[in-house]
Each structure stands twice: as C-alpha cells, then as structure tokens.
C-alpha cells in the first residue's frame, strides 16, 4: 500500500475583504499518495491556487489540518514551514522565475548553494539535472537565448535540485504554445514514470489535465468530482 504524503482534513481558507468574508476553500479533504500524478482543474476563482499554496506550505488554513509526512503543518511557524519547503517540495510556476543574467547551469546551481555542497559537486548535480530534462546542449545559454519551453525545463531542473518528495506545478504550461506545453508535460510524465516523483499540477487546460493519472475538479472552493 502506498504511503500518504499529503493529507488535507476539512480545510477551509477564509479571506477578509473589508467587511465581507470570502471562503476560497470550503471543507476540502484529500489524500495524496506517494507516486500520484494529480491534476487539479477549475475555473478562475475556484480555489485551485489557494489549495496549491496551502499544500506547498506557502500559506496556512483558516480551519482544518494539513499533514505532510504525518506532521500537521497547519500548526507550524514560518521558519519551520520554510525548512519543509526547502527539503520536501519543488515548485514549478507559470512564470519561469529564472535569473536573466545567469546561465541555465547557474540557475540550477543556485539552490544548491544552501545544501552545503562543494562547487564541484553542485555543478555535477546541476549538469545531471539539465541532462535529465533534455538540455545538455543548452546549459550555458542564458534565459533570453532559450525558448519558453526550454526555460520551463530549466525551471523543472531547478525544482529538482533539492530532490523533493513532491513537485508542485502551478499552470506549468500557461505561458507556452501547445507544442512546448506538450513537451513540458512529457518531462513531467517522465519524472513520474522513471523517477517515481509525486506530482501535483494545477491547470486550466482540460486537455493537459487528462494526462494526469488522477484528476479532481474544484468549484467554489469545493471538490466536485474525481477525488
């Protein structure tokens, strides 16, 4: 039986908008198991980005509990959340967030500075990650010299630098044309198939969502189907 990595128990997220309370999430309960490839869909305002922020330890729920590897992260301080993010979670965003004056190799090496690796070991690891995402011939190029799909692959390699248990991909193909988006999805599928990574992907693209192995749909802050 596969291990449950992330578990949401009756999770609510409420924002105070002036005198009005807005419930972005309303009683979400969900288990994510080791090796899942979960696609989360929903229209704008459905709560999917809020859910991603909570799962990624970027925010805390208003009510309910979120367990990561058995620890209730909803009760942790920000410093502890930051440590969990650094060790267990890799983030891929719609905006690639690469540093423009650094090469692809240097962008991937940057997070490795915090892992007490020697420069030589950090470089070896970054090179192997760029090979993994099919960019061995582009590692010395800067972001402006790369296509959108290539930049996103650099971002994926960077997300893998801490060998995370879970990859969170927030609209990872949102800034890409259909071919580049499909190529990036192929990289994620390879990571799921060959590396055994647990992947949680938020997307508005229902065609790409079909490539997830498990799918849920959010509407008005609630899971509507597929969980």
**Domains of the chain, first to last:** 35-57+85-225 (3.40.50.300)
CA-wise closest residue to 146 among 109, 96, 91: 96
- Measured in degrees and rounded to the nearest 5, phi and psi for residue 116 equal 60, 30
- Indicate the range of 7-21, 91-105, 135-149, 201-215 predicted with least confidence: 201-215
Is 104's pLDDT higher than 90?
yes
How many Cβ atoms sit within 10 Å of the Cβ of residue 182? 15
pLDDT tens readout for residues 214-225: 999 999 999 986
Mean pLDDT score of the chain, rounded to an integer? 89
Is 122's pLDDT higher than 60?
yes
pLDDT tens readout for residues 28-52: 999 999 999 999 998 888 998 899 8
Under the banding of pLDDT at 50, 70 and 90, the label for residue 80 is: confident
pLDDT tens readout for residues 166-192: 999 988 888 888 888 888 888 888 888
Q: What pLDDT does residue 208 have? A: 83
Express as a percent the part of the chain with pLDDT over 70.
98
Express as a percent the part of the chain with pLDDT over 90.
49
Task: Read off the pLDDT of each residue in 13-23 and give the average, rounded to a whole number.
Answer: 91
Is 17's pLDDT higher than 90?
no
DSSP states of 119-149 = HHHHHHHHHHHHHHTT-TTSTT--GGGS-HH
Separation CA 58–CA 65 (nearest Å)? 14
Is 127's pLDDT higher than 90?
yes
Task: Indicate the DSSP class of residue 222.
Answer: E
CA distance from start to end of the chain: 18
């Amino acid at each position: 039986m596969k291990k449950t990595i992330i578990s949401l128990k009756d999770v609510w997220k409420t924002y105070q908008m002036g005198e009005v309370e807005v419930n972005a999430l309303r009683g979400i309960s969900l288990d994510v198991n080791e090796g899942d490839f979960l696609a989360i869909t929903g229209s704008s305002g459905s709560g999917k980005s809020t859910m991603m922020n909570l799962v990624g330890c970027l925010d805390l729920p208003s009510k309910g509990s979120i367990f990561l590897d058995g620890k209730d992260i909803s009760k942790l301080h920000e410093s502890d959340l930051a440590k969990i993010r650094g060790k267990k979670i890799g983030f891929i965003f719609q905006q690639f967030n690469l540093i423009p004056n650094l090469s692809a190799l240097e962008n991937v090496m940057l997070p490795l500075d915090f892992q007490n690796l020697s420069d030589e070991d950090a470089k070896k690891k970054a090179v192997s990650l760029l090979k993994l995402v099919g960019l061995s011939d582009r590692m010395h190029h800067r972001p402006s010299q790369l296509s959108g799909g290539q930049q996103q692959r650099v971002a994926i390699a960077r997300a893998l630098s801490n060998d995370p248990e879970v990859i969170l991909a927030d609209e990872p193909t949102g800034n890409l044309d259909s071919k580049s988006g499909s190529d990036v999805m192929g990289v994620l599928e390879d990571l799921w198939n060959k590396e055994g990574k647990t992947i949680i992907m938020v997307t508005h693209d229902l065609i790409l969502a079909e490539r997830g192995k498990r799918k849920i749909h959010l509407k008005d802050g609630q899971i509507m189907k597929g969980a």
